[in-house]
Amino acid sequence: MATEIESRTHSQAARQALFPNGLPFVRPSVPDPEDVATDVRRILSTGILTNGPYVRELEERAAEYLGVRSCVAVASCTAGLTLVLRAADLSGDVIVPSFTFAATAHAVAWNGLRPIFADVDPRTLTLSAAAVEHAIGVHTSGVLATHVYGTPCDVGGLETVAAEHGLSLFFDAAHAFGSEHGGTRVGGFGAAEVFSLSPTKVLVAGEGGIIATNDDELAERCRVGRDYGNPGDYDCQFVGLNARMSEFHAAIALRSLVGLDERIERRIALVARYRSALSAVPGIGFPVVPAGDRSTFKDFTIRVAPLAFGTDAPGLAAALAEEGIDTRRYYAPPVHRMRAYREIVGRNGHLPATDAASAQVLTLPLWIDMTEEQVVKVAEAVAATHARANGGP
């Protein structure tokens, strides 16, 4: 079936694609270059290029926005995840989703801990509290869940399971700066949450991450840990990292904070337009954002049911590529199917909801300067692919 679609799409080469110049998958939301240039000149004039006053201001403003006691700025979300797990002094096994970016599991493995993969809720594609409970073993010390695409996890369910079993709970909030769960901003749940500020995120620093926590001791250990574990006297307290954020990245992030909520609302509006335009296409479904929650929609991902749609997600991706539309498959393969983790999957390699989702997902272009016309044209390309797959023109 997919081969037939591919041959038909190749036969369209003679006609012009819907987006002859290409429609990119993402375009970063960057601050005004002149404002950033002013900050850069000021930073260079001080001679303080890393972990200085801009970083301090970013930490303070992020903590205020998120409603938490402490924020610690770091070089990347991956470094932040690695630090919080090290600072928490965990041992043995940490339960993680497989339907996530590899960095979630990498942070566990770099700490010498074993990632134990648990399944997701098939509706939301976030870590299932019931699956976590099933995965707990005698060596389990923590849980690291992901707010996938910016959709908040089942925080209450995960907190209940973690508390009942004496486990530390952390959240990979890479996608979720500005997300809300039950009217509360993501950032203060669990022992710590870690955000990404890379170019594809809603809050952009170029590169960077933010650890958010209400645990003062954990925050201090993360501050020490981002500087090799050195408290200032070069007598390292523990094995840390060079995970300091530069002043330049902090300056960009501070500028990016301006208008953040408006940008998130714009993404939500574009997603609503996508959903409306795609709702009548057979075989196209959407992950659920629970009622009362707000997703940042760092990504807009659809599910493609091959029998109803007429081809699978890779087939649809190929057809859209013929129209100049760039896509991704978040997340395929899931982490437990990656070569890096085949030897350490452990006892929980059977993840039916994860495997089913991974086979069906396709992530469509989304950025705040997209027009509704572009969204509708992408949806029309999806609908046209379905029609051709089922014998239409």
Q: Residue 257 pLDDT > 50, yes or no? A: yes
Q: For 272-328, what is each residue's pLDDT tens digit?
A: 999 999 999 999 999 999 999 999 999 999 999 999 999 999 999 999 999 999 999
Q: For strands 93-97 and 114-118, give the pairing.
A: parallel
According to DSSP, the residues that pair with 304 across neighbouring strands are 284
- For residue range 191-243, list pLDDT tens digits in order: 999 999 999 999 999 999 999 999 999 999 999 999 999 999 999 999 999 99
Rounded to whole angstroms, the Cα distance separating 267 from 285 reads 19
Own/partner pairs, 342-349, CB within 8 angstroms, 24+ separation = 344/109, 344/114, 344/115, 345/117, 346/93, 346/114, 346/115, 346/116, 346/117, 347/116, 347/137, 348/116, 348/117, 348/118, 348/135, 349/117
> How high is the pLDDT of residue 344?
72
Mean pLDDT of the chain: 94
Residue 121 pLDDT level (bands cut at 50, 70, 90): very high
The string of pLDDT tens digits covering residues 320-330 is 999 999 999 99
Give the phi and the psi of residue 381 in degrees, each rounded to 5: -65, -40
Picking from 284, 285, 333, the residue whose alpha carbon sits closest to that of residue 310 is 284
Q: In the chain, what percentage of residues exceed pLDDT 70?
A: 95
Can you give the pLDDT at residue 9? 47
Residue % of the chain over a pLDDT of 90 = 92
What residue type is assigned to position 205 of the chain? A
For 32-83, write each residue's pLDDT tens digit.
999 999 999 999 999 999 999 999 999 999 999 999 999 999 999 999 999 9
